[in-house]
Amino acid sequence: MKKILLLVLFFALGNLFAFEHLTKDNFIEKIKGKNVIVDFYATWCPPCKILAGTLEDFDKVKPNNVTIYKVDIDQYRDLAISYGVKALPTLAYFEDGELVTTEVGLKSVKDLEDSVKEYFE
């Protein structure tokens, strides 16, 4: 039983680190000139872990012109504040470095596909 629990924990934590993490030093540079979804999350947030898995699934079907990044709000609270993050998980949609909108809460792959069509096409 302990082995199963450890495996589940390992895979859940692995999802949190599957995408490139942004810092205050590289944030602007990384989102410029692209369609970007930034996942503002915290390692202690259970819904954030669920959304991490959904983002992994979405990454397999998303358009090639969309990039996903993550920001740990505990490490980069100033970024979260500057983009109005008040609840977790928050997804911020950027087009060519400009914030288009934010969405709070859990999303399905279909929700993410619909959001990308609405905000980036």
Q: Is the pLDDT of residue 8 over 90?
A: no
* Residue 16, token pair as written in the block: 């949190």
Dihedral through CA 29, CA 32, CA 37, CA 43, nearest 10? 10
Eight-state DSSP code of residue 9: H
Asked if residue 9 has pLDDT above 80, the reply is no
Q: Give pLDDT tens digits for 14-56.
A: 444 589 999 999 999 999 999 999 999 999 999 999 999 999 9
Q: State residue 18's pLDDT score.
A: 80
pLDDT in tens, 105-120: 999 999 999 999 999 9
All domains in the chain, ordered by first residue: 2-120 (3.40.30.10)
Active site residues: 45, 48
Tell me what pLDDT residue 2 has. 58
